[in-house]
Structure 1
Amino acid sequence: MNDHRPAPAEAASASPAVSSSARRSAEKAAEEAAEVRRFWGRLGLPGLIDVHTHFMPERVLNKVWEYFDARGPLTGGLAWPISYRQREAERAAVLRRFGVRAFTAMLYPHKPGMARWLNDWAAGFARRTPDCLHTATLFPEPGVETYVREAIEAGARVFKAHVQVGAYDPADELLRPAWGVLAEARVPVVIHCGSGPAPGKHTGPGPIARVLARHPRLRLIVAHLGMPEYEDFLGLAERYQEIRLDTTMAFTDFTEALTPFPRRALPRLAALGDRVLLGSDFPNIPYPYLHQLQALERLDLGEEWLRAVCHDNAAELFGPA
Structure 2
Amino acid sequence: MSDGIVRDEFVRDFRTRLGLPSLIDVHTHFMPDQVLRKVWGYFDSAGPLLGHREWPITYRDEEQVRLDTLRGFGVSAFTSLVYPHRPDMAAWLNEWSADFAARTPDCLHTATFYPEHGADSYVEAALDAGARIFKVHVQVGDFHPGDPLLNQVWGMLEDSGAPIIIHCGSGPAAGEFTGPEPIAELLRRFPRLRLVIAHMGAPEYSEFLDLAKAYDKVLFDTTMNFTDFFEAGDPFPVHERPRLLELGDRILFGSDFPNIPYTYGHALESLERLDLGDDWLRRVCHDNAARVFGLA
TM-score, structure 1 as length reference: 0.90
**Are residues 1:223 and 2:234 paired?**
no
Paired AA for residue 55 in structure 1: F
Residue of 287, 290, 301 corresponding to 2:276: 301
Query: Counterpart of 1:76?
Result: 51
Match for residue 42 of structure 2?
67
Query: Partner letter of residue 44 of structure 1?
Result: G
C-alpha root-mean-square deviation of aligned residues, in Å? 1.2
Q: Distance in 1 between matches of 2:4 and 2:220?
A: 31
Q: After TM superposition, what 4+ stretches of structure 1 lie above 3 angstroms from structure 2?
A: 31-34
C-alpha distance in 2 between matches for 1:183 and 1:139: 16
Shift of 1:32: 4.3
Of 224, 229, 243, which residue of structure 2 is paired with 1:249? 224
After superposition, the C-alpha distances for 1:151-199 in whole angstroms (9 at most, x for unaligned) are: 0110100000000000000011111110110010100000000000000
Higher relative contact order (CA 8 A, sep 6+): 2
Secondary structure of the corresponding residue to residue 175 of structure 1: helix
Indicate which of 201, 205, 210 corresponds to 2:176: 201
Residues 201 and 208 of structure 2 are in contact (CA less than 8 Å); yes or no, is this contact kept in structure 1?
A: yes
Q: Look up the match of 1:47.
A: 22
Answering whether residue 126 of structure 2 is matched by residue 151 of structure 1, we say: yes
What does the per-residue CA deviation read over 1:66-88, in whole Å, with 9 as the maximum and x for residues that have no partner?
00100111000001000000011
Look up the SS of the partner of 1:102 in the other structure.
Answer: strand
Match of 1:318 in 2: 293
In the comparison of the two structures, how many residue pairs are matched?
296
Unaligned regions of 5+ residues in structure 1, if any?
1-23
Q: Secondary structure of the residue that 1:257 maps to in structure 2?
A: helix
Whichever residue aligns with residue 266 of structure 2, its letter is H
- Amino acid in structure 1 at the alignment position of 2:56: P
Work out the CA distance in 1 between the residues paired with 2:236 and 2:262.
Answer: 19
Matched-pair contact (CA < 8 Å) for 1:33–1:97: no
Return the match for 1:135 from 104, 110, 116. 110
3-state SS, counterpart of residue 294 of structure 1: helix
Q: Secondary structure in 2 aligned to 1:112?
A: coil
Contact 2:4 2:263 in 1 (8 A): no
The amino acid that maps onto 1:303 is D
Whole-Å separation in 2 of the counterparts to 1:145 and 1:219: 18
Match of 1:235 in 2: 210
Structure 2 stretches lacking a partner, 5+ long: none
For residue 233 of structure 2, give the secondary structure of its aligned residue in structure 1: coil
Identity of aligned residues (%): 61
Residues 194-231 of structure 1, C-alpha deviations (whole Å, 9 max, x = no match) = 00000000000000111100111000000000000000
- Provide the TM-score with structure 2 as the length reference: 0.98
Question: Cα deviation per residue 1:235-257 (whole Å; 9 max; x = unaligned)?
Answer: 11111010000000000000101
